[in-house]
């Protein structure tokens, strides 16, 4: 019998759902394979009193999971791709990108149907600089308030009346079976999600051939192409939680369209660019849109906005 495959995961409900999902897919693809979860705490989970933008550092949600793999306490780690920095730690690879869920952000409110219906100076909860910049761009009057914690915590804070609305990713809300809480979708390309949003990634040791073989069954080529374009753009712009960057790549019959934005969370200024390419050049497309944004003056938006 072969050794069980051990999946390192964060302990939030969403992280556990995603890790269980990968476990289920692996058992289906490889009958007889034993799969176990190894739930762990990460720095990103423990620091809840400050926004990610002020903590700084990339990969706050990854490090402890990577250490578990290096210590041979786990074989793979499951992440939301949007939490995975553009550059991985040396020796690690993303061995599978799963089929993408809805990449869009969600507007969630108990009283108002959409962003336009929010009253003057309404309170909106989000600590994401990308979401803040896009909110300010269309509604400069809004009060933007910090909101951290896992998806359930954020919904509970909305329900307690601390906010008139909050912004979350559709994918996370839907995975938790809470899709009915989505009041309105913030549709792209007018509103852009984070690079990689809605996709689940499996990270493993670059040298682990057994894992590479097992993961081949899980990867989704179309999602891979889209997120390669989005992440290449983000990487070129030096993206992190400390800057407001949005990206969304459409994969269609004719090829790819990548929409990109860089914003300023304080002023609501937004720079936008888009370009098309054939489906086999997603990374070049990402670099092209990044260069267009830099040509428009993105540099001024890319020093950390604290």
Closest to ligand PBG by CB, 61 or 288: 61
In sequence order, the 6+-apart residues with CB closer than 8 A to the CB of 256 are 225, 226, 229, 249, 250, 276, 277, 278, 279, 281, 282, 285
131 is a site residue for ligand PBG (CB under 6 A): no
197 is a site residue for ligand PBG (CB under 6 A): yes
Dihedral angle, C-alpha 247, 191, 104, 221, nearest 10 °: -30
Query: What is the number of helices (H) and of strands (E) in the chain?
Result: 10, 13
Binding span for ligand PBG by CB under 6 A among 3-11, 78-86, 156-164, 272-280: 78-86
227 three-class SS: helix
82 is a site residue for ligand PBG (CB under 6 A): yes
Q: Which of the residues are catalytic?
A: 83
> Pattern 154-193, binding to ligand PBG, x per CB under 6 A?
--------------xx-xx---------------------
- The gap from C-alpha 76 to its chain's centroid, in whole angstroms, comes to 19
Neighbours of 292 (CB within 10 A): 18
198 is a site residue for ligand PBG (CB under 6 A): yes
126 is a site residue for ligand PBG (CB under 6 A): no
Burial class (CB in 10 A: 0-12, 13-18, 19+), 46: exposed
Minimum CB separation of residue 1 from ligand PBG in Å reads: 34
98 is a site residue for ligand PBG (CB under 6 A): no
Residues that bind ligand PBG (CB under 6 A): 80, 82-83, 151, 168-169, 171-172, 197-198
């Amino acid at each position: 019998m072969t050794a069980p495959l051990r999946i390192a995961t964060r302990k939030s409900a969403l992280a556990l759902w995603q890790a269980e999902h990968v476990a289920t897919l692996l058992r289906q693809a490889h009958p007889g394979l034993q799969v176990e979860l190894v739930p762990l705490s990460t720095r990103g989970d423990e620091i809840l009193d400050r926004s990610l933008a002020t903590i700084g550092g990339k990969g706050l949600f990854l490090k402890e999971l990577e250490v578990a793999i290096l210590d041979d306490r786990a074989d793979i780690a499951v992440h939301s791709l949007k939490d995975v920095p553009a550059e991985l730690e040396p020796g690690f690879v993303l061995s599978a990108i799963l089929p993408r869920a809805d990449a869009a952000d969600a507007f969630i409110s108990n009283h108002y149907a959409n962003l336009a219906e929010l009253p003057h100076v309404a309170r909106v909860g989000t600590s994401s600089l990308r979401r803040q910049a896009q909110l300010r761009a269309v509604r400069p009057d809004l009060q933007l308030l910090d909101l951290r914690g896992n998806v359930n915590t954020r919904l509970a804070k909305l329900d307690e009346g601390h906010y008139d609305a909050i912004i979350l990713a559709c994918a996370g809300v839907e995975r938790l079976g809470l899709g009915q809480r989505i009041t309105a979708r913030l549709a792209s390309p007018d509103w852009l999600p984070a690079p990689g949003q809605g996709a689940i990634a499996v990270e493993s040791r670059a040298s682990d051939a057994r894992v590479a073989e097992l993961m081949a069954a899980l990867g989704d080529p179309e999602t891979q192409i889209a997120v390669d374009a989005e992440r290449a753009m983000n990487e070129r712009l030096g993206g992190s939680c400390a800057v407001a960057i949005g990206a969304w790549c459409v994969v269609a019959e004719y090829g790819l369209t990548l929409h990109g934005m860089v914003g300023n969370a304080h002023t609501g200024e937004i720079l936008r660019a888009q370009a098309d390419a054939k489906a086999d050049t997603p990374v070049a497309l990402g670099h092209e849109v990044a260069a267009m944004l830099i040509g428009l003056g993105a540099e001024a938006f890319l020093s950390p906005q604290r």
